[in-house]
Amino acid sequence: MTMTSPPSLFRFAARAAALKPSAIREILKTTGAPDIISFAGGLPAPELFPVEDLSRAAQETLAEDGPAALQYGITEGYWPLRQWVCRHLAQTVGLNASPEQVLVTSGSQQGLDLVAKTLIDPGDAVLVENPAYLGALQAFQSYQARIIGVPGDDQGMRVDELAGILAGLPRPPKLLYLIPNFQNPSGTSLTAARRARIAELAAAHGVPVLEDDPYGRLRYSGTDLPALSAQPGAPSGAYLGTSSKILAPGLRVAWLVAPDREFYDRLVTAKQAVDLHTSAFTQRVVCRYFLQPGALGSHIDRLRATYARRRLAMLQALERHLPEGCEWTRPEGGLFLWVRLAPSLDAGGLLKTAAARKVAFVPGEPFWIGAPARNTLRLNFSNASEERIEEGVRRLGEAIRGSFQ
């Protein structure tokens, strides 16, 4: 017997109406054909996944720790992984956390959801970079946040704009959300001076900072900077890290650091209600891989070398093939760069011409809060070979030139 469905049965929640499917995921569905050169996704290079090391980690996990890896676990996450996270953060971004402050999440997207679920009532203000990461916007929208975009430039969020917006709000926003390193979609990074100043401003106004750092380890030039959350006097909040970009997104293992005890406890309770806990098996596989001496370090070196070449190939191809009037960011790391076309052009329309020429990207429109700059677009450089990057950007240049006719 099949379930039947009268049309009037479901009365959806107000938040469901506020939530739109990801524009990127829709684009990926139509541009996934193998003959299309896609700069649309945010995908790591699959040929670099350490498949054999992970296979060994999976075997060892099940052989040595099978029953625990397959049983229910605690919501907070696997203790040795939380210990590793603390050592890793101290070594890389200057953040001193204890394992009791670490919550393992099913990808950083879940970290965004849990923070939003715990803090945001309908209509609450959340400040974000403009343009902002689409997954974060979705998470905040699903709790009916009032999202306010803070303008940025090629050094990330502008401090004067942030100060002005904070001064003008009747009460502090619930959250200030940032990707300080190699931001998605713009590729920009906050300077050391801005990190310090933004931390001060957030502290002065009593605004928790949600710092999202998926790309921080993927730096190809310049110097690593301490996390925004590690600035002297930074207010408490949450820092999100993940294995997705340094290991493999298909495992869905990420971590959230929240030093405030009540906030942490409420995040744990929220996670109980949404999925009990992250897979005990994948947590142990990831942890075992991370604990293998030298494995992660040499893997990240390999990622950096490959992605740095691809970034350079894309920058050079853009110089060669894009017509006068186009500008783009020159990210020091991460997966993306951001292109600004001549003001008269619409990247949404361009995508159709480009798709006909078998090249794809994400138009900038969905990343903007308020009036979108429709002449912007995001390009990913991690997922295609240098040859395909050259050819894809050549096609993109043709498509742009075609748009003027």
Pick between residue 104 and residue 315 the one whose CB is nearest to a second copy.
Answer: 104
Give the residue with the Cβ less far from a second copy, 207 or 399.
207
The residue length of the chain stands at 405
Q: 3-state DSSP call for residue 260?
A: coil
Which among 107-115, 125-133, 159-167, 302-310 is the span making contact with a second copy, rule CB under 8 A? 107-115
Residues ≥6 apart with Cβ < 8 Å to 155: 188, 189, 190, 191, 194
- By beta-carbon proximity to a second copy, the closer residue of 41 and 397 is 41
- The burial of 366, by beta-carbon neighbours within 10 Å (0-12 exposed, 13-18 middle, 19 or more buried), is given as buried
SS3 state of residue 271: helix
Q: How far is the CB of 242 from a second copy (least distance, A)?
A: 11
- Our CB check for a second copy shows the closer of 188 and 244 to be 244
Q: Which of 248, 303, 326, 360 binds a second copy (CB under 8 A)?
A: 248
Task: Locate 21 and state its tokens.
Answer: 């499917």
Spatial separation of the C-alpha atoms in residues 126 and 121, rounded to whole Å: 11
Buried b (16+ CB within 10 A) or exposed e, 286-313: bbbbbeeeebbeebbeebeebbbebbeb
Shortest distance in whole angstroms from residue 336 CB to a second copy: 15
DSSP for 145-192 reads -EEEEEEEETTEE-HHHHHHHHHHSSS--SEEEE--SS-TTT-----H
Torsion angle of C-alpha atoms 91, 92, 93, 95, degrees rounded to 10: -30
Whichever of 130 and 229 has its CB closer to a second copy, that residue is 229
According to CB under 8 A, which residues from 249 to 278 bind a second copy?
249-252, 259-260, 262-263, 265-266, 268-270, 272-278
For 62, list phi and psi in degrees, rounded to 5. Answer: -75, -35
Judged by CB, which is closer to a second copy: 39, or 328? 39
Among 38, 188, 229, 375, the residue binding a second copy under the rule CB under 8 A is 229
Q: Which of 27, 39, 104, 135 binds a second copy (CB under 8 A)?
A: 135
- Sequence-distant contacts of 242-245: CB under 8 A, at least 24 apart: 242/107, 242/108, 242/214, 243/286, 244/44, 244/107, 244/108, 244/214, 245/44, 245/214, 245/215, 245/217, 245/218, 245/335
CB of 233 to a second copy, least distance (A): 7
Write down the least CB distance from residue 182 to a second copy, Å: 18
Q: What are phi and psi of 53, to 5 degrees?
A: -60, -40
Binding mask 175-214 for a second copy (x = CB under 8 A): -------------------------------xxx------
The number of CA neighbours under 13 Å toward the Cβ of 259 is 15
Q: Which string of x and - marks every residue 158-177 that binds a second copy (by CB under 8 A)? A: ----------------x---
In angstroms, the CA 353 to CA 152 distance is 30
Quick one: which segment of 133-141, 301-309, 317-325, 392-400 binds a second copy (CB under 8 A)?
A: 133-141
Binding of residue 30 to a second copy (CB under 8 A): no
- Positions 32 through 91 that interact with a second copy (CB under 8 A): 41-44, 46-47, 49, 51-52, 54-55, 58-59, 62-63, 66-75
Q: Which of 30, 33, 87, 96 binds a second copy (CB under 8 A)?
A: 96
Burial class (CB in 10 A: 0-12, 13-18, 19+), 368: middle
**Shortest Cβ distance from residue 271 to a second copy (Å)?**
10
Q: How far is the CB of 282 from a second copy (least distance, A)?
A: 6
Nearer to a second copy, 20 or 320 (CB): 20
Part of the chain binding a second copy (CB under 8 A), chosen from 157-165, 184-192, 243-251, 289-297: 243-251
Q: Which of 40, 102, 148, 234 binds a second copy (CB under 8 A)?
A: 234
